[in-house]
Chain A
Amino acid sequence: MSKMHIKLTVNGKQEELLAEPRELLIHVLRERLSITGPHIGCETSHCGACTVDMNGKSVKSCTVLAAQANGAEITTIEGLGTPEAPHPVQQAFVDHAGGQCGYCLNGMIIAVAGLLNRSAVPSEADIREALRHHLCRCGAHVEILAAARAAAGLTRGEPA
């Protein structure tokens, strides 16, 4: 099966590669570009660990073909901040211990960053809607929501 020439802008950097059309965006990011922030959790569009920002929208990179993403701008958690200069959402997750094992967090954090890009002043309901389908098997949702609220500038959450 012939390979395709695929161009992506990932975290501001132009990338070009040859890939089979059937390759998923998560595999291209992790295995070809060594961008391992997006995690493979369920691989069935349910858990949110593979979330990336594609053209300003939070999407599940396990359910997007690299061929579909050809020409897109992708932001992963690597594009947000560094250990020395974390993105405000990353800092909020540190401050509030948002997470235990951390496997789901890269998806959670990129989803919250995406929400703040689209809506400068999200409500508690907006935050819960953006995260309610992200699974955390440690059960750290209370801390995750606290971190998201802090990043959004909300002091405390009202029941949604």
Chain B
Amino acid sequence: MIPAPFEYHRPDSVEAAVKLLSDFGDNARVVAGGHSLIPMMKLRMTDFGHLIDLQAISTLKGICIEGRRISIGAMTTQHEIIHHAGLASIAPILREAARQIADPQVRYMGTLGGNVANGDPGNDMPGVMQCLDATFHLSGPGGTREVKAREFYEAAYFTARAEDEILTGVSFDAPAGGQAYMKQKRKIGDYATAAAAVVIAMSGGRCTAASIAMTNLSDTPVWCEAAGAALAGTDLSAAAVEAAVGAMDDAIDPQSDNRGPAEFKRHAAAVVLRRAIEAAAARA
């Protein structure tokens, strides 16, 4: 399996990469780690004339923590996220989610930017970013702009990113409270049948705030405000948890496919959400 022919570019600055994207329009694609794009190229499911490799742009790499504010460059690999002690201490949900992406070899190449920018509903980090209310940073010919993760995803592979823009990084505040990412998958390396990202803040045995986002249960990640609201102000009783699960079930729209019938996915979604709520509360 060999991709269709293309010209290869390895710019060393965001400006140069944006210039290439502007010059070639929709006949160009950027590649980060390539572990989503290259399989699509091999299957000839995507075809373009110019591949713009971001690996030489050093400003796109790295994890920066200032107080509670966390900024992660788009070319930071899942492996680097897993092994960053500072990040794991204040936002452990990133490590927990990254460890459930594909396998170690893919995580050496696969990047946070590629995972969130691709728009594949099966990717795990978009849901995590929505749960954390992260901000995505975009650079284009007109300069830079920011888009909230909760407003970025429009449909499968369609996002708020314009064709001549590059997603350069993400930023978010370290969440207050316990965090969990629970994923059901058929086998090691698979995309989620259902996954849940949960942050829960507790005070005096009561939940003061909760944020819940689901992965691969619609054509975009689903941040479910009503599910979080169903937990806030409660002592996380079984009735409160089931109210949150019910709100989540109303918000998702799973389709039957090779991961199972839609009814099964709804069941799996409820199971992973209950587990994630329990784990996040225990860690709060």
Binding site for B on A (CB under 8 A): 1-2, 4, 20-24, 27, 43-46, 48, 51, 57-60, 63-65, 67-68, 70, 111, 129-130, 132-133
Contact = CB atoms under 8 A, between A and B. Distances in A.
A45 B55 contact: no
A65 B38 contact: yes
Which 3 residue pairs spanning A and B have beta carbons closest together?
A133-B103, A21-B8, A1-B5
10 contacts: A20-B5, A21-B6, A43-B1, A44-B1, A46-B189, A57-B108, A65-B51, A67-B8, A68-B34, A132-B103
Contact of A60 (B5, B6, B105): B105
Contacts of B106: 45, 60, 63
B173 interface: no
A22 B39 CA distance: 12
A111 B104 CA distance: 10
B66 interface: no
Contact of A45 (B5, B7, B35, B53): B35
Contact of B2 (A22, A48, A63): A22
Contact of B104 (A24, A44, A133): A133
A63 B8 contact: no
A63 B38 contact: yes
Contact of B42 (A43, A57, A129, A133): A43
A65 B109 CA distance: 12
A59 B6 contact: no
A97 B102 CA distance: 29
B274 interface: no
A133 B53 CA distance: 27
Contacts of A2: 7
Interface in B29-57: 31, 34-35, 38-39, 41-42, 51, 53, 55
A111 B106 CA distance: 13
Contacts of A60: 105-106
B4 A51 contact: no
Nearest to B99: A129
B8 A24 contact: no
B104 A63 contact: no
A141 to B, nearest CB: 12
Contacts of B108: 57-59
